Amino acid sequence: MSLSIPYWENSIEPNEGNIRMFMEGLYSKSLPVEQARWNRSNTDTAYYAGNQRLINSQFGINYNTNGEMYFNLLAQPVNMVTGYERQHRKSITFVPGEGGDGQTTDQYTKVIHQACITGGIYEQISKAYELSAVSGMVLVQPYLDYTCKDPAQGDLRLKIWEYNSFIIDPYFRDPCGSDANYCWTQEYIAKGEAKARFGDKVNNVNPVSWGAPRNGTFYFLPENYNTARNDLMILSYVWYKWNRKRKKLYSHSRYQFFDFSGGDEQIFQLMQVIPDLEEVEIDVPTWKVAVVLNDQLMYQGENPMGFDAFPMVPIFWNYEPHNNNPDLRVRSLVSTMRSSNYLMNRQIIISHDQKEATINAGWMRKQGAIANEDNVKKTGQGWDIIINDGFEMTDVQKIQTNVVPESDFALADRARNLIFGTSGIDIENWAAQKDKQSSSLTMMLKTAANLTVLQKYFDQWDYAKKLVGERCLDIVLHQWNAYKIEMLIGEDPSPYFFSRIFSTYQTVVEEGLMTPTQKNMQAQAKMDINAAFGREVYPPSMVVKDMNIQGRDEDIKFLEQQEQQAAAVQSETTNIQHAFESAKLQELYSKSVSNMANAVERHGRAESNIGLFEERLSMIQKNRSISTREKMDALVKLVEATKSLGEIEAMMEMGKIEAMNASQAIDEDREKIDAKRTAMSNQFTQEIMGNMMNQVSQQQIQGGQGQMGQEQAMMQ
């Protein structure tokens, strides 16, 4: 909670009788701190606009510039930061939280995004960022506008309260402003607009006379400087923190309270899911408002938008509530560059005055030294200057132009560099001007590195946009019905859309494709991916759709037709290739069958050779039988010879015959072994060749099938 305690009693609310005293007391309590913020923000705004007259009051230097000569470099760093934010604008999305329903949060995102696009809320937020960089802090407030397309339920809009149009509890510490105790905003409206807002009540409002002290409370508003503002009325919104009774659902088993907004039927459905739910009333903090028109109370009560949270969202550059110096509590980006910009202007103006303070043209001469004095006043084409008799050439001299020292220009350049140094922004690095050949990825990396100095401020802005999204969703859930939601998102709201139990969410702020710069960077990134992979990952139609070019839809249709034609040609080429590969595969099949037939034929020949070999073996056995018979005949003859020749000689001849038979048997065995080996070698060779042919055929078949599968995958 804030340490600031309101002056009024907590049990007394503002009413028609005490509203003026209520506002005056609130103003006197806040003025010492808020006046310091107003003065500093007013000075920053004047510097940003180019007001040189404030130099005297700020630095106490009596330096007259007549308000004419002013070189404003403050706008460049500010526009650099805000321009980057506009080019890389982030969108508001919602994700499920605490087991919430994903479909419901997706519908939340669609509704808020559509409302923000239609109502220009994103542009208003960017403007608020710019104003915070210039003046230090502003407030934004989502509301419903009933003067647009939907007078019944209203259109979502965003109101910006500039630095000079609000007073807020100066001791609030929470960036969302929820711990503040009060907030007072003020604006001037015409009487016709007042009648449109408050109807016949405006007829009883007393006009404000010029010069009344209470009219100048917000004395930095531009309307206070218009002496002919008789047709304007002062409208004030005084928000103050209070308590109220609120219905909630309590679960005894879970020991938990649940927010709920719905009818009895929905409560019955919830009790079916959570049987121990009980409807109770508890005290909750809320924000009430008193609407005052020309010091007369027009409305006092709860927030018309239906929610209890703080209705404003502070957007600031530097806000340090712990700082005990009111002048330094709120600071802007401009305030860091004011001194250096002043020094640069002062040095340039001094150098210019030095040059103009002396005579920079003409002649110095003694009286009567020049015979034709009119010639010294002429320029161009050359003119003779005649020196009278009795005078020397030194009696006539040309006045030399006064030269400003180079050190003066160096001081001006140094002050100029200080402007960008104190702001933390290097324009050349941000724009990648030092490297003309930088790719989009290199520029993104360099820009991100330079943004590290300002990351704090971008995070603060993202948090503020998150709060804006939550306030907008609160308004939608309390003020719009299911028919309007269906019209915006093109589908029926989920059963949990208006429930506070199952539709819990978390708000996320992230960069999307909202601006032309973001879309062009997306297209460039796709082209870089194509170049990195060396193939067409993204077709041209997917790249062109993100480019900021005229006639994009026609170009996309033309590119899609080309892609379809190319796909048809590729498909036909693939079919032809498949037919060729199929024919080639069939040829391989036929060759494989032929090789198998040849192998079978060779195997048959080998078997026939084995039969011939067996036949030869039988012939050998037959020959052996014949040989045995012949040996028997020879033995008979040998016996006969032994009787006739003698035993010794017969035995000698018999040994010779046996030796010849043994030699023939050895030769026959060797020939049989050689024949068997040859047959076995031929059979082994035929088996190896047959296996090799089968393996080659299978590999060719598998390779053909794999190539066909790859081509089908590429076609898909």
Q: What is the pLDDT of residues 399-439, one digit of tens each?
A: 776 666 666 667 777 777 777 777 777 766 555 555 555 56
Given pLDDT bands bounded at 50, 70 and 90, which one contains residue 3? very low
**pLDDT value, residue 534:** 77
For 109-127, what is the mean pLDDT?
Answer: 91
pLDDT for 239 beyond 90: yes
State the total domains in the chain: 3
The reply to whether 627 falls in a domain is yes
The reply to whether 31 falls in a domain is yes
Range of the domain at 589: 554-715
Q: Which residue has the higher pLDDT, 39 or 533?
A: 39
Given pLDDT bands bounded at 50, 70 and 90, which one contains residue 257? confident
**pLDDT value, residue 446:** 67
For 74-102, what is the mean pLDDT?
Answer: 84
**pLDDT value, residue 406:** 67
pLDDT for 268 beyond 70: no
**Rounded Cα–Cα distance for residues 133 and 423 (Å):** 11
97 and 505 in contact (C-beta within 8 Å)? yes
- DSSP, collapsed to helix, strand or coil, labels residue 149 as coil
Whether residues 545 and 563 share a domain: the answer is: no
164 and 34 in contact (C-beta within 8 Å)? no
Whether residues 504 and 526 share a domain: the answer is: no
For 382-390, what is the mean pLDDT?
Answer: 78
Q: How far apart are the first and last CA of the chain?
A: 63
Whether residues 476 and 584 share a domain: the answer is: no
For 120-149, what is the mean pLDDT?
Answer: 93
**pLDDT value, residue 650:** 63
93 and 108 in contact (C-beta within 8 Å)? no
| Least confident piece of the model among 60-69, 185-194, 590-599 | 60-69
150 and 484 in contact (C-beta within 8 Å)? yes
**pLDDT value, residue 63:** 52
For 229-256, what is the mean pLDDT?
Answer: 83
Whether residues 92 and 219 share a domain: the answer is: yes
- For residue 712, give Cα distances in angstroms to 575, 688, 707, 715: 10, 36, 9, 5
Whether residues 585 and 702 share a domain: the answer is: yes
Whether residues 491 and 621 share a domain: the answer is: no
How does the average pLDDT of the chain come out, rounded? 77
Give me the residue label for tokens 């048809």.
568
pLDDT for 158 beyond 90: yes
The reply to whether 167 falls in a domain is yes
For 50-67, what is the mean pLDDT?
Answer: 58
The reply to whether 245 falls in a domain is yes
For 133-146, what is the mean pLDDT?
Answer: 94
Q: Which residue has the higher pLDDT, 57 or 561?
A: 561
Identity of the residue numbered 611: G
For 316-321, what is the mean pLDDT?
Answer: 92
The reply to whether 411 falls in a domain is no
Whether residues 499 and 528 share a domain: the answer is: no
Whether residues 534 and 560 share a domain: the answer is: no
Highest mean pLDDT among 7-11, 537-541, 551-555: 537-541
Whether residues 472 and 590 share a domain: the answer is: no
The reply to whether 386 falls in a domain is no
Q: Which residue has the higher pLDDT, 605 or 574?
A: 574
**pLDDT value, residue 1:** 38
**Rounded Cα–Cα distance for residues 523 and 517 (Å):** 10
How is residue 146 annotated by DSSP?
T
The reply to whether 360 falls in a domain is no
| Least confident piece of the model among 184-193, 237-246, 291-300, 375-384 | 375-384
Whether residues 490 and 600 share a domain: the answer is: no
The reply to whether 107 falls in a domain is yes
**Rounded Cα–Cα distance for residues 197 and 147 (Å):** 10
Given pLDDT bands bounded at 50, 70 and 90, which one contains residue 292? very high
Whether residues 505 and 627 share a domain: the answer is: no
- DSSP, collapsed to helix, strand or coil, labels residue 249 as strand
pLDDT for 640 beyond 60: yes
Q: Containing H/E element for 417? A: helix 406-423
pLDDT for 211 beyond 70: no
Given pLDDT bands bounded at 50, 70 and 90, which one contains residue 469? very high
For 465-485, what is the mean pLDDT?
Answer: 91
**pLDDT value, residue 2:** 40
Whether residues 259 and 331 share a domain: the answer is: yes
175 and 318 in contact (C-beta within 8 Å)? no
**pLDDT value, residue 4:** 41
pLDDT over 70 for what percent of the chain? Answer: 70
- For residue 380, give Cα distances in angstroms to 386, 397, 534: 17, 18, 66
**Rounded Cα–Cα distance for residues 242 and 10 (Å):** 8
How many CB atoms are closer than 10 A to CB 412?
20
**Rounded Cα–Cα distance for residues 247 and 250 (Å):** 10
**pLDDT value, residue 208:** 60
pLDDT for 532 beyond 60: yes
pLDDT for 125 beyond 90: yes
364 token code pair: 């110095």
Given pLDDT bands bounded at 50, 70 and 90, which one contains residue 237? very high
Phi-psi region of 534 (alpha: psi -120 to 50; beta: other; left: phi over 0): left
Q: Which residue has the higher pLDDT, 685 or 170?
A: 170
For 135-146, what is the mean pLDDT?
Answer: 94
- DSSP, collapsed to helix, strand or coil, labels residue 494 as coil
State the pairing for strand pair 318-319/313-316.
Answer: unpaired
